[in-house]
Amino acid sequence: MNIGLLKSQTPPWHRHFLARLFPIICLVANANLGASAVTLCDYAEARHRDDWLRHPVYGDPSFDSFQRLPGNPIHRGAPPFEWPVNGFFFPDPQSRNLYVFVGDYGKGYMTPPSRCLLYRSNNHGHTWTNLGPVLHGEKAMFDRGGHTPDVSVVFAENRYHMVYDWGEADFNAEGGLAYAWADRPEGPWHRAPEPITRNSTLSKLSDRYQRTYAATLLRRTNDWLILGMMDHAPNSWALFAMTAPRPEGPYSERRLVRHVEGDYFHPPLLEFFPAFAHEGAVYAPATSVALNRNFNVLFKAPLERAEDPAAWSLFQHGSLWHAADHESEFFGIWGQTFSGAVMPDGHLRVMFPSRDRDGRGTINLAQRLWDRPFRKSGFVLSGHAGPSLTLLRPAYANFTLNTELQLRGTARLLLNYTAPLGPNAPTSDATLHPLSNTRHLGLELASGQWRLCRFDTVESATVVASGKFLDQTRLRLKVKRVEDRLTIELNHRELWSGQPQALTGASDLGLLGWRVEANSHLTVEKFSIQGEPAAGRTMFLQTEALLGAGAAPGDWDQVEGQQFRFGSGALSRTSGARAKWNVIGTGLRIWSPRGPHYGTLEVLVDGRVAATLDLHSTVANDSAPLWEVNDLPGTFHAVAVTAQSGRVPLDCLEVWMGRGTR
């Protein structure tokens, strides 16, 4: 709406009337335009779940509705098999029994040789019986190394069909996939004399993927489908597909269907297994392999087209799973991901692996209604081996926040957050970059103690104020900001009021959010804000782009220097070095230094060439905005950059995060 045109073409009394009416018009119009007048919004309601930032490394504020089933865990590791950390849930259509095949590993995966245990329930999961090992390697066969941990099972044509992964003593060096069949789930299982895949004989896909493991076997109308894992650890993981006329093979060449090297949005880094089919579609859940295994997504494809990469879509991004605050789930999901099936009563019932406080693997069960994936309100953010963080996508200058929460451990309400985000390393087991703990004000709560801290450009905190409070099951927190003044109340008692230096004026649109420390569990039941929301912005570091492309260590040199926006960046080693930010937002801005030793950089947005940036200049210039686009739909975007000529620097990407997506 052109306000200047309104003023120039209306008489004074009309202008006075329109001036009163204009805020109301804006409130309606801005629901679509992205800005708004003062509103009241509870971001703990599930309908606002996509207004929160979630990421495989940072964490996931999950609104999922999964409920644990009684009797967890049904299996707990014990020496020498301390890590039962994978499994397959199989509801038998013939006997109506429920089965769980457990991938039973020794601690560290390598010794002793892994095996597959079988659990059975003949009373709908109320109790379970351990039937012992159902599959293990034999010296007379190709799987003589003994590793036979992870299986999937299908009943078809009056027979039970299994695909399992096998390996020698070092199954990273030799192993693959194999087939077996049986007349009943308990066995005996008759294994094919030769494997489906032998990793040492496979050609590499994308010049890196060779090791096959963790496969799901699926029956289709006219053939059989295998969806399996390949990895180039610790930098990248991929889901591949292959088909065959018979379950034992021979199978077609492997085809990558989801992988970080693609030009599309793909959360890094994720490990799949197992998948499940429902009503003509195949669903592939995937779990983060970061230090905290508390982020999950669900991919989907038509079952009959699942070998086609173009058929796959990201069905659910986050809010798929949360770790319950139980000792048997101390480390979140561990191993692959949950194994599920949609039951006749409409529930998605799953087996999920975790590890307890002592590091022993646990096998557990949960369920939710298939068509009700989210609770009405309330989300969980958990820290396990490291911290987790989430940010609200809309930003607020002046606001009143009322939040209600339950907490075990340590949590920090983030205020005026302007720190950059990224992993500490572009590999598995990554955690938050140290720079994520800078440039904000934070109210920290832990065991009856509170601290209001200012975090500047170094990670150490300056304590503005501190004190004690009565530690209760539910905490009610109120934070009000008017210009530079902040007022904080806890359980209806004022804790502090003043003007902390970190707040530099009402025009400063830093972000609100939460951070939880390691071994902490936060449930936010209410997060109601009254204020005027604007599109939030944040910076993503170069480590995020290296992680997002599965960049090999030889592609880039990580360097430090004042020429980079936050003091660190990367330099390409060769032409063709690639990086990719996977982000959600409506606008993008690339920051980079320029200098006499730099070449050109190609930019692709969602697979299309968007710009070619010449980073050469006769004199060295510190990092500055070089290119931007601000009219993108507020959905998932892949921003890939490739070194075209000469060495190029890689700095950071600024993103207008908007209000999220539905």
With 80 as the cut, is the pLDDT of residue 33 above it? no
pLDDT of residue 471: 80
For 37-59, letters b (16+ CB in 10 Å) and e give: eeeebebbbbebbbbbbbbbbbb
Residue 248's φ and ψ, nearest 5 degrees, are: -85, -10
pLDDT of residue 507: 44
CATH class of 67-373: mainly beta
How many Cα atoms within 13 Å fall on the side-chain side of residue 300? 9
In this predicted model, what pLDDT tens digit does every residue of 538-554 receive, in sequence order? 999 999 999 999 998 88
pLDDT: which is higher, 650 or 136:
650
CA dihedral over 104, 105, 107, 112, signed as positive or negative? positive
Rounded mean pLDDT of 498-514?
A: 74
pLDDT of residue 37: 86
Give me the CATH code for the 38-60+384-535 domain, please: 2.60.120.560
Residue 473: pLDDT band with limits 50, 70, 90: confident
Residue 503: pLDDT band with limits 50, 70, 90: low
Residue 137: pLDDT band with limits 50, 70, 90: confident
Predicted TM-score (pTM) of this structure: 0.92
**Residue 518 and residue 390 in contact, taking contact as beta carbons nearer than 8 Å:** no
Domains of the chain, residue spans: 38-60+384-535, 67-373, 541-658
Tell me how far apart the alpha carbons of residues 283 and 410 are, in angstroms, rounded to a whole number. Answer: 35
Rounded mean pLDDT of 33-52?
A: 86
With 50 as the cut, is the pLDDT of residue 342 above it? yes
SS3 278: strand
Q: Of the ranges 134-138, 291-295, 351-355, 498-502, which one carries the lowest mean pLDDT score?
A: 498-502
In this predicted model, what pLDDT tens digit does every residue of 65-87 receive, in sequence order? 999 999 999 999 999 999 999 99
Rounded mean pLDDT of 18-42?
A: 52
With 80 as the cut, is the pLDDT of residue 201 above it? yes
Tell me how far apart the alpha carbons of residues 418 and 55 are, in angstroms, rounded to a whole number. Answer: 17
Nearest to 451 by CA among 403, 405, 393, 411: 411
pLDDT of residue 173: 83
With 70 as the cut, is the pLDDT of residue 31 above it? no
**Residue 52 and residue 62 in contact, taking contact as beta carbons nearer than 8 Å:** no
Helices (H), 77-146: none
Task: Select from 3.60.10.10, 3.40.50.150, 2.60.120.260, 1.10.1740.10 the CATH code of 541-658.
Answer: 2.60.120.260
pLDDT of residue 502: 60
Percent of the chain topping pLDDT 70 = 93
With 70 as the cut, is the pLDDT of residue 35 above it? no
With 50 as the cut, is the pLDDT of residue 655 above it? yes
**Residue 405 and residue 347 in contact, taking contact as beta carbons nearer than 8 Å:** no
With 60 as the cut, is the pLDDT of residue 282 above it? yes
Tell me how far apart the alpha carbons of residues 652 and 623 are, in angstroms, rounded to a whole number. Answer: 9
For 170-183, letters b (16+ CB in 10 Å) and e give: ebeebbbbbbbbbe
Task: Determine the straight-line distance between the first and last CA of the chain, rounded to whole angstroms.
Answer: 25
Which residues lie below 8 Å from residue 269, measured CB to CB, with a gap of 6+?
56, 235, 236, 237, 260, 288, 289, 290, 427, 428, 430, 547, 550
Residue 500's φ and ψ, nearest 5 degrees, are: -70, 145
Nearest to 54 by CA among 518, 636, 510, 532: 636
pLDDT of residue 472: 83
Which residues lie below 8 Å from residue 174, measured CB to CB, with a gap of 6+?
145, 167, 168, 198, 199, 200
**Residue 372 and residue 495 in contact, taking contact as beta carbons nearer than 8 Å:** no
pLDDT of residue 30: 39
Rounded mean pLDDT of 57-65?
A: 98
What does the mean pLDDT of the chain come to? 91
With 90 as the cut, is the pLDDT of residue 154 above it? yes
Rounded mean pLDDT of 376-391?
A: 98
The reply to whether 67-373 and 541-658 are identical in fold is: no
Q: What is the 3-state secondary structure (H, E, C) of 602-631?
A: EEEECCEEEEEEECECCCCEEEEEEEEECC
Q: Give the start-end residues of each E strand in 3-82.
A: 39-42, 67-68, 75-76
